[in-house]
């Protein structure tokens, strides 16, 4: 992955994480989807892509 792809991927993960947090904060309704696993996956992806972005920036 180059710098542009990493930035786009990181932005998409952050946006998805923000949406998942916003949807999780709504009042509980029976049958509502559980957004916690999605938030964990997005957070892990953000950490990995952030570290990859730092590595790419240091190489330049």
Domain ranges of the chain: 3-59
Q: How many residues does the chain have?
A: 60
Question: If pLDDT is split at 50, 70 and 90, which confidence band does 32 have?
Answer: confident
Tens-place pLDDT, residues 1-23? 899 999 999 999 999 999 999 99
Rounded-to-10 torsion of CA 48, 54, 58, 60: 90
pLDDT at residue number 14:
98
More confident residue, 28 or 53: 53
Rounded CA-CA distance 27/22 in Å is 11
- 3-state SS of the chain: helix, strand, coil percent to 5? 75, 0, 25
């Amino acid at each position: 992955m180059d710098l542009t792809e990493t930035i786009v991927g990181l932005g998409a993960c952050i946006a998805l994480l923000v949406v998942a947090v916003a949807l999780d904060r709504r009042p509980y309704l029976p049958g509502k989807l559980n957004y916690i696993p999605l938030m964990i996956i997005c957070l892990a992806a953000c950490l990995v892509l952030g570290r990859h972005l730092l590595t790419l920036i240091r190489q330049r």
